[in-house]
Amino acid sequence: MSKDPQTLYAVEDGVAVITLSFPPMNALHPKVLGSLFDNVRRAHADPSAKAIVITGANGRFCAGFDINQFQDKSRSGGGIDMSINTAFVELVETGPKPTVAAIEKLALGGGCELALACNARVAAPGTIMGLPELTLGILPGFGGTQRLPRVVGLEKALSMILTSKPIKDPEALSLGLLDAVVPPRELLATARKLALDLASGARTRRFALQRTDRLPAFREALATLEFARAQTRRRAPNLTHPLLALDAAFAAAAALPTHGALVHVFFAQRSTKRVRGVTDVGLAPRGLRRLAVLGGGLMGSGIATASALAGIEVLLKEINQGFLDAGLARIRANLASGVKRGSLKQAAADAALARVTGTLTYDEFGSVDMVIEAAIEQVELKQRIFADLERVTRPACILATNTSTIDIKVVGAKTRSQDRIIGAHFFSPAHIMPLLEIVRSDVTSPQVILDTLDYGSRIKKTPVVVGNCTGFAVNRVFFPYSMAAAMLVDSGLDPYRVDAAVAAFGMPMGPFRLGDLVGLDVSLFVGKSYLEAFPERIYRSALVPLLNEAGRLGEKAKKGWYVFDDKRKARPDPALAEIVLESRKRSGLSGNAAFAAKLSDQDIAEFVFFPVINEACRVVAEGIVDKPADLDVATVMSMGFPAYRGGVVFYGDIVGADYVVRRLKQWATQYKAQAGFFEPCEYLLAAAKSGRKLSAGNATQSKI
């Protein structure tokens, strides 16, 4: 066996096996690193290899970076040659072919970091793994400070790094640092099989650096790091480098845009309760004791459940005994499911139920402090109800509507009580979804807004005050989302591909799966209000009307964009193709097929979200929200826009207003007939030109 520092390359059964070879410990001499890098690249280019196994010669994996290099350099007074920088670990982790480490005896320092970069790890019994770098006065340099906490958890990783003590294979296995422990003679075969399973998708390929499941919440992480820092200072008051290791773990995470975005959402969520002209004018909430809910349907019963759980007396009104019984049964079922899930104690559920009274009349409405109407979306019906409410309630009683589409001034048009009329827009299911959009008109009194904010906080929702416009804030900002997605499908993309790309961006589901959840009849109805309100910037696809005609109304009809089994599991449906083809024919977008076919997942996400950012800018400019951060919170808490991207406006700042404008203009050129859909608004254009952040908001007082 040669003593030269090198790696060996062989392909066995479709797997490239790369062997570290530098007796006795296969230390990572710069020549070993160089050869490893070359051979990993070779394996990625090698058509006979589907996957890669990295192992060590002489019955050992690797004892880390070659310590002799440190000695030589310190003698010569120079620094370490890190010309083979961390690029190779990135390639090992995320290159086109999956990697598995086959480990014997030891994986220490850089050797452990190399194993951590592999997508899976198998070891023989008697193996030790660890990051002993601090004992040499240096820090783990190949990404160990980042990957180890993500694989074994922050606390364990800090202890391993700070004590430099390696762990043995049984503990490594139980922590997930190893995927399997097998006898030495089975090691390579097991690693090869695992590598092929990762390549075929039979097992999920994992990327340590992208994992967050073992990381604690940000504040908990800070506390752990602070504790470790104090302990380290006590144990080694003269040493700086262990503290640097802690800083490295923290600073690297803190430098990521995800950190900035999450901190933004943290503060934004707390600031929605501060509204100019409402919470800064010396008013105090009047405190709500008794609430009436009109309508015991899905929304009404959810609102009643959330309110009763917060200690509020609830009067539930329905129009006949059958509907009332059904509404009360829904409240009971909501409470029972909370008990079953473990989020609610039986005694609390019983107490909440005891606070709910059913009624068929307005007789007791004189005693309530607030009414929330949750009837169906019909203008005349709501107008009649509000005229009745004005008559049967005290003048101080707040009159709220749970409409999601109708102008609240139109709802109150047959009353002279516009100042106490407000929108309380809940998201379904109302007792679970965390957001409450509070819709004010230009004459809603600040006291009424303040009381509704207070009510929202009491029922544990995040309240966001928004102005009165079509779709209010959330639905309005998101109307271009489904339209852009439909445009892509009409241009030739598979709807399931679009959904997958949007889910990969971080949404809980794609726009079409969401359409099925909401109901495509509802989408059609709501879509019409945007056609009327914003005719210059809508995309009118035949897709949703055709799906409605075919009776494909979504989950409730067991078929929509997808088909659903009895467990509500969605599956793609080949029969959808006919409708899609018909819509494409009518759309006149066939000229865009080549453009659409070339889009990457990221392009697709940008295509559907940049028009959303554009609309969000309009909402900010029109003063529909008090501040852009309110819109960020609203989009995270309603649509599930990823908090680590900070909400739609903050996301616009992450990617840059100028980039958003450039892309919108490109698409406006590509889709000439739909140019209005992509036209950047003034607010966005101004930010792109001046470099001002979109989240800076309006300098002037909001108009709402």
Which of 5, 56, 132, 511 binds ligand 3HC (CB under 6 A)? It is 132
Decide if residue 64 touches ligand 3HC (CB under 6 A).
yes
Torsion (CA) 508, 512, 513, 518 in degrees, nearest 10 = 100
Angle at CA of residue 461, ends 459 and 465, nearest 5°: 115
Nearest to 1 by CA among 18, 24, 33, 35: 24
CA distance 580 to 596: 15
Shortest Cβ 111–ligand 3HC spacing (Å): 7
Q: Which of 12, 90, 93, 133 is catalytic?
A: 133
CA distance 412 to 416: 8
CA distance 242 to 61: 26
Decide if residue 136 touches ligand 3HC (CB under 6 A).
yes
Q: Is 575 exposed, middle or buried (0-12, 13-18, 19+ CB in 10 A)?
A: exposed
Decide if residue 114 touches ligand 3HC (CB under 6 A).
no
How many residues of this chain bind ligand 3HC (CB under 6 A)?
20
Which of the stretches 21-29, 234-242, 585-593, 623-631 binds ligand 3HC when contact is defined by CB under 6 A? 21-29
CA distance 675 to 696: 27
Which of 108, 124, 278, 435 binds ligand 3HC (CB under 6 A)? It is 108
Decide if residue 245 touches ligand 3HC (CB under 6 A).
no
Cis bond upstream, residue 463 (ω within 30): no
Decide if residue 24 touches ligand 3HC (CB under 6 A).
yes
Shortest Cβ 232–ligand 3HC spacing (Å): 18
Locate the DSSP E strands across 6-118. Answer: 6-12, 15-21, 51-56, 99-103, 106-108
CA distance 368 to 386: 15
**C-beta closer to ligand 3HC: residue 106 or 198:** 106
Length reported for the chain: 704
Nearest to 188 by CA among 124, 116, 114, 119: 124
**C-beta closer to ligand 3HC: residue 61 or 561:** 61
Which of 18, 106, 453, 464 binds ligand 3HC (CB under 6 A)? It is 106
Helix (H, G, I), strand (E, B) or coil at 193: helix
Shortest Cβ 95–ligand 3HC spacing (Å): 20
Following DSSP, what letter does each residue of 580-621 receive, concatenated? HHHHHHHHT-GGGHHHHHT--HHHHHHHHHHHHHHHHHHHHH
Decide if residue 68 touches ligand 3HC (CB under 6 A).
yes
Shortest Cβ 129–ligand 3HC spacing (Å): 11
Q: Which amino acid is at 693?
A: K
**C-beta closer to ligand 3HC: residue 118 or 634:** 118
Which of 98, 141, 515, 647 binds ligand 3HC (CB under 6 A)? It is 141
Shortest Cβ 675–ligand 3HC spacing (Å): 54
Decide if residue 65 touches ligand 3HC (CB under 6 A).
yes
Shortest Cβ 488–ligand 3HC spacing (Å): 45
Q: Do 304 and 296 contact (CB within 8 A), yes or no?
A: yes
**C-beta closer to ligand 3HC: residue 120 or 245:** 245
Shortest Cβ 59–ligand 3HC spacing (Å): 12
Shortest Cβ 74–ligand 3HC spacing (Å): 13
Nearest to 5 by CA among 108, 20, 68, 64: 20
Which of the stretches 132-140, 349-357, 484-492, 542-550 binds ligand 3HC when contact is defined by CB under 6 A? 132-140
Q: Is 437 a catalytic residue?
A: no
CA distances from 585 to 523, 548, 581, 589 (A): 22, 18, 6, 8
**C-beta closer to ligand 3HC: residue 140 or 295:** 140
Which of the stretches 10-18, 108-116, 464-472, 641-649 binds ligand 3HC when contact is defined by CB under 6 A? 108-116
CA distance 179 to 120: 6
Decide if residue 169 touches ligand 3HC (CB under 6 A).
no
Q: Which of 93, 113, 318, 390 is catalytic?
A: 113
Decide if residue 133 touches ligand 3HC (CB under 6 A).
yes
Q: Outline where 206-240 has alpha helix (H).
A: 218-235
CA distance 446 to 453: 10
Decide if residue 250 touches ligand 3HC (CB under 6 A).
no
Decide if residue 480 touches ligand 3HC (CB under 6 A).
no
Decide if residue 130 touches ligand 3HC (CB under 6 A).
no
Helix (H, G, I), strand (E, B) or coil at 97: coil
Decide if residue 499 touches ligand 3HC (CB under 6 A).
no
Q: Is 113 a catalytic residue?
A: yes
Shortest Cβ 141–ligand 3HC spacing (Å): 3
Which of the stretches 63-71, 350-358, 529-537, 667-675 binds ligand 3HC when contact is defined by CB under 6 A? 63-71
Contacts of 60 (CB under 8 A, 6+ apart): 24, 25, 26, 104, 105, 106
Decide if residue 254 touches ligand 3HC (CB under 6 A).
no
With CB atoms as reference, the residue minimizing the distance to ligand 3HC is: 109
Q: Outline where 210-284 has alpha helix (H).
A: 218-235, 241-255, 257-271
CA distance 46 to 41: 9
**C-beta closer to ligand 3HC: residue 69 or 415:** 69
Half-sphere exposure of 380 (CA within 13 A, CB side): 0
Which of the stretches 136-144, 168-176, 460-468, 594-602 binds ligand 3HC when contact is defined by CB under 6 A? 136-144
Decide if residue 137 touches ligand 3HC (CB under 6 A).
no
Shortest Cβ 27–ligand 3HC spacing (Å): 3
Decide if residue 67 touches ligand 3HC (CB under 6 A).
yes
Shortest Cβ 160–ligand 3HC spacing (Å): 13
**C-beta closer to ligand 3HC: residue 22 or 472:** 22
Q: Do 377 and 406 contact (CB within 8 A), yes or no?
A: yes
Which of 5, 140, 463, 646 binds ligand 3HC (CB under 6 A)? It is 140
Contacts of 20 (CB under 8 A, 6+ apart): 7, 26, 28, 32, 36, 54, 55, 56, 57, 61, 62
Shortest Cβ 71–ligand 3HC spacing (Å): 9
**C-beta closer to ligand 3HC: residue 110 or 300:** 110
Which parts of this chain interact with ligand 3HC (CB under 6 A)? 24-25, 27, 63-68, 106, 108-110, 113, 132-133, 136, 140-142
Catalytic machinery residues: 113, 133
